[in-house]
């Protein structure tokens, strides 16, 4: 209770300070009242969703949107305050100087104060608008990212073999069937040889996937569809009444994936075959550093695989690649991961520049990386979680074409 009081008081103080900037920039009372009304509505809804209507650790859609609107409002307040606070500190220092030396000068430049208020409000409107856009359209702004990777030891029969990777569906967050249908059609339009899904089909419960089962079951690839589990698929973030209920939920999700045509690889492997040649597909259960579930068993997953086989690993969390896979006795040519979502927020100019705060948590957080002659692709995710939107880091469908070095 005390933390709620502290947070609300801090929010109101920040809101009052930002209001002063608005009053300086415009003397229209209706603007002031609108800001007050929206600020109170946002904090009121947030408190209601996360306390009165709280459903435990499950992040429902109403809670996600309450968080998203609060994030947008806080970004607006903070940037406005940064501009006004610097001005106030300067005024305080000059006022103290005048009082200390008994000068009669009064420091007041209303025109500068108004200029800073207008500038601060203008800049604050950018992240505020971007976060609202991210919730309205950005979360369904699907991008197809295509890569060609060359290997010396790729079997010649698999030259130009095409993989579509999707990850982090998070079906419990979806709220627009037409947009999801468009995304699924986009996956099918790639006409890839195989579709690989790298975990987090749901947020918490298998039931979240039921409305979308037929749609995702329509995904087609001539060599099939394969999947692994992500940290959210185990139901660890739900306060289950019994351990049996939790286990039943996981079995339901496994059965649902089978009904949709996915072969779920649970620390096991399979071979993709073409014209008498084959490559090994290895599926590892979730293994994550930093407190995430470690159900993955790489040694068990590669049982029966030969060291000279060409290998593709599916492992949800890229920290697994960093800490175990690239240092293993086997040489794993390509690992496919997801998990990070690219934090759903950042700045990216494809092929030139990418940045997101998630880089401070994960070394490998989006796109293709190479270490020790081995590749990883970290998919930015098909869905979204927490903040119900995306800004700058868009939902992704990855297409990877395997190439035999020396062939055209």
Out of 136, 156, 177, a domain closes at 136
> Within this chain, do residues 240 and 386 fall inside the same structural domain, yes or no?
yes
Q: Computed from CA positions of residues 307, 312, 314, 319, in that sequence, does the dihedral angle turn out positive or negative?
A: positive
- What does the H/E/C string look like for the chain? CHHHHHHHHHHHHHHHHHHHHHHHHCCCHHHHHHHHHHHHHHHHHHHHHHHHCCCCCCCCHHHHHHHHHHHHHHHHHHHHHHHHHHHHHHHHHHHHHHHHCCCCCCCCCHHHHHHHHHHHHHHHHHHHHHHHHHHHCHHHCCEEEEEEEEECCCCHHHCCEEEEEECCCCHHHCCCHHHHHHHHHHHHHCCCCEEEECCCCCCCCHHHHHHHHHHHHCCCCCCCEEECCCHHHHCCCCCCCCHHHHHHHHHHHHHHHHHCCEEECCCEEEEEEECCEEEEEEECCCECCCCCCECCCHHHHCCCCCCCCCEEEECCCHHHHHHCHHHCCCCCCEEEECCCHHHHECEEECCCEEECHHHHCCCCCCEEEEECCEEEEECCCCCCCCCCCCECCCCEEEEEEEEECCCC
> Within this chain, do residues 337 and 274 fall inside the same structural domain, yes or no?
yes
Under the banding of pLDDT at 50, 70 and 90, the label for residue 122 is confident
Out of 85, 105, 136, a domain closes at 136
Arithmetic mean of pLDDT, 199-223: 97
> Within this chain, do residues 54 and 156 fall inside the same structural domain, yes or no?
no
What is the C-alpha to C-alpha distance for residues 48 and 120, in angstroms, rounded to an integer? Answer: 30
- Who wins on pLDDT, 102 or 160? 160
Place of tokens 């994030």: 71
> Between the CA of residue 195 and those of 223, 256, 383, what are the distances in Å?
8, 17, 17
> Within this chain, do residues 193 and 297 fall inside the same structural domain, yes or no?
yes
Closest CA to 324 of 357, 270, 287: 287
Q: What pLDDT digit, counting tens, does each position of 237-257 carry?
A: 998 999 999 999 999 999 999
CB atoms < 10 A from the CB of 92, how many?
A: 11
Arithmetic mean of pLDDT, 69-81: 92
Q: Order the strands of the 143-151 sheet from edge to edge.
A: 143-151, 396-404, 161-166, 194-197, 225-227, 262-264
Pairing of strands 353-355, 367-371: unpaired
At residue 84, the pLDDT reads 75
The DSSP annotation for 167-198 comes to ----GGG---HHHHHHHHHHHHHT--SEEEE-
Residues of the chain above pLDDT 90, percent: 75
At residue 98, the pLDDT reads 60
Q: What pLDDT digit, counting tens, does each position of 339-385 carry?
A: 999 999 999 988 789 999 999 999 999 999 999 999 999 999 999 99
The DSSP element (H or E) to which 353 belongs, if any, is: strand 353-355
> Within this chain, do residues 123 and 82 fall inside the same structural domain, yes or no?
yes
Beta bridge partners of 196: 165, 226
Q: Which residue range forms the structural domain that includes residue 259?
A: 141-404
> Within this chain, do residues 83 and 68 fall inside the same structural domain, yes or no?
yes
At residue 111, the pLDDT reads 59
Under the banding of pLDDT at 50, 70 and 90, the label for residue 4 is confident
Q: What pLDDT digit, counting tens, does each position of 266-291 carry?
A: 999 999 999 999 999 999 999 999 89
> Within this chain, do residues 112 and 243 fall inside the same structural domain, yes or no?
no
> Within this chain, do residues 128 and 158 fall inside the same structural domain, yes or no?
no
Residues of the chain above pLDDT 70, percent: 91
Out of 76, 101, 136, a domain closes at 136
CATH number at residue 285: 3.60.21.10
Arithmetic mean of pLDDT, 82-90: 68
Q: What pLDDT digit, counting tens, does each position of 18-28 carry?
A: 888 888 888 88
> Within this chain, do residues 168 and 19 fall inside the same structural domain, yes or no?
no
> Within this chain, do residues 210 and 317 fall inside the same structural domain, yes or no?
yes
pTM beyond 0.75, yes or no? yes
- Who wins on pLDDT, 45 or 115? 45
> Within this chain, do residues 119 and 248 fall inside the same structural domain, yes or no?
no
> Within this chain, do residues 92 and 222 fall inside the same structural domain, yes or no?
no
Arithmetic mean of pLDDT, 158-165: 98
State how many domains the chain has.
Answer: 2
What is the C-alpha to C-alpha distance for residues 387 and 6, in angstroms, rounded to an integer? Answer: 23
What is the C-alpha to C-alpha distance for residues 201 and 316, in angstroms, rounded to an integer? Answer: 11
């Amino acid at each position: 209770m005390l933390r709620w009081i502290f947070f609300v008081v801090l929010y109101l103080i920040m809101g009052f300070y930002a209001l002063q900037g608005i009053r300086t920039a415009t003397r229209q009372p209706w603007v002031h009242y609108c800001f007050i009304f929206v600020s109170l509505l946002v904090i009121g809804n947030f408190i209601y969703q996360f306390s009165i209507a709280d459903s435990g650790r499950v992040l429902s859609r109403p809670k996600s949107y309450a968080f998203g609107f609060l994030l947008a409002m806080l970004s607006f307040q903070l940037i406005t305050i940064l501009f006004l606070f610097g001005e106030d500190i300067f005024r305080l220092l000059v006022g103290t100087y005048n009082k200390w030396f008994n000068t009669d000068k009064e420091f007041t430049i209303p025109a500068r104060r108004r200029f800073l208020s207008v500038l601060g409000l203008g800049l604050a409107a950018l992240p505020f608008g971007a976060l609202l856009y991210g919730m309205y359209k950005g979360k369904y702004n699907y991008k197809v990212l295509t890569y060609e990777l060359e290997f010396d030891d790729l079997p010649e029969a698999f030259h130009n073999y095409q993989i579509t990777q999707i990850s982090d569906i998070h079906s419990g967050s979806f709220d627009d069937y037409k947009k999801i249908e468009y995304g699924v059609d986009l996956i099918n339009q790639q006409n890839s040889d195989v579709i690989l899904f790298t975990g987090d089909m749901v947020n918490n419960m298998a039931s979240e996937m039921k409305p979308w089962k037929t749609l995702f079951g329509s995904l087609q690839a001539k060599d099939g569809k394969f999947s692994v589990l992500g940290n959210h698929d185990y139901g660890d973030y739900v306060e289950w009444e019994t351990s049996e209920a939790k286990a039943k939920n996981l079995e339901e999700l496994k059965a649902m994936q089978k009904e949709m045509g996915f072969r779920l690889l649970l620390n096991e492997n399979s071979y993709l075959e073409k014209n008498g040649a084959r490559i090994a597909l290895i599926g590892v259960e979730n293994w994550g550093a930093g407190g995430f579930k470690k159900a993955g068993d790489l040694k068990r997953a590669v049982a029966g695989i030969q060291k000279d086989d060409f290998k593709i690993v599916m492992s949800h969390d890229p920290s697994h690649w960093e800490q175990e896979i690239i240092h293993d006795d086997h040489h794993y040519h390509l690992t496919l991961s997801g998990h990070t979502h690219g934090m759903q927020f950042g700045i990216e100019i494809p092929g030139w520049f990418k940045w997101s705060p998630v880089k401070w948590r994960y070394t490998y957080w989006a796109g293709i990386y190479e270490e020790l002659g081995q590749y990883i692709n970290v998919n930015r995710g098909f869905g979204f979680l927490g903040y119900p939107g995306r800004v700058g880091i868009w939902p992704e469908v990855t297409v990877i074409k395997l190439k035999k070095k020396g062939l055209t």
